[in-house]
Amino acid sequence: MALLPVLCYPDPRLHKVAKPVAQVDARIKKIVADMAETMYDAPGVGLAATQVDIHERILVIDVSENQDALMVFINPELVWASTEKKSWREGCLSVPEYYDEVDRPDVIHVKALDQNGKEFEIEADGLLSVCLQHEMDHLRGKVFVEYLSILKRNRISLKMKKRAKELASQR
């Protein structure tokens, strides 16, 4: 397993649309293991392959309190979403140190493959619902800050660019 570098907003690679995984094989299983290690190390509760510059439809999520219940979603599809919305304070490993409120459907139903290529379906609410929607957005090339006002987005973009320059100058 290996830690993967996480892309930071406004990196244009975060806007690439991920392609479906054709076959769950040893390569995909290694990507899943590396993504899980990266997510836990960050620490985070979810990570999309897009965030680590792999443009395939793969997500890892663990919203458990002890971070011991890894969930893998390969080629996830939103089957159904409730009309009732709920607002959650979201953060993102690609937008470090920034959190804001985002309205999303409260309950969703998702179909996907697990890390062994077996199809499953899940109905999610609460944090799992939010996390799934957030990570599935990444696979479509969308970052959560795009739900915010243009003013907030521009401010975040400038802060992230400044942060990147500071980190680069420290190396």
Catalytic residues: 135
Contacts of 155 (CB under 8 A, 6+ apart): none
Report the DSSP pairing between strands 71-81 and 107-113.
antiparallel
User: Per the annotation, does 15 bind a ligand?
Assistant: no
Contacts of 83 (CB under 8 A, 6+ apart): 105
Q: Which residues pair with 64 in a beta bridge?
A: none
User: Per the annotation, does 138 bind a ligand?
Assistant: yes
Closest by CA position to 95, among listed 53, 42, 152, 145: 145
- Provide the b/e sequence for 16-37 (b: ≥16 CB within 10 Å): bebeebeebeeebeebbbbbbb
Q: Residues forming the annotated binding site for Fe cation?
A: 92, 134, 138
Q: Residues forming the annotated binding site?
A: 92, 134, 138
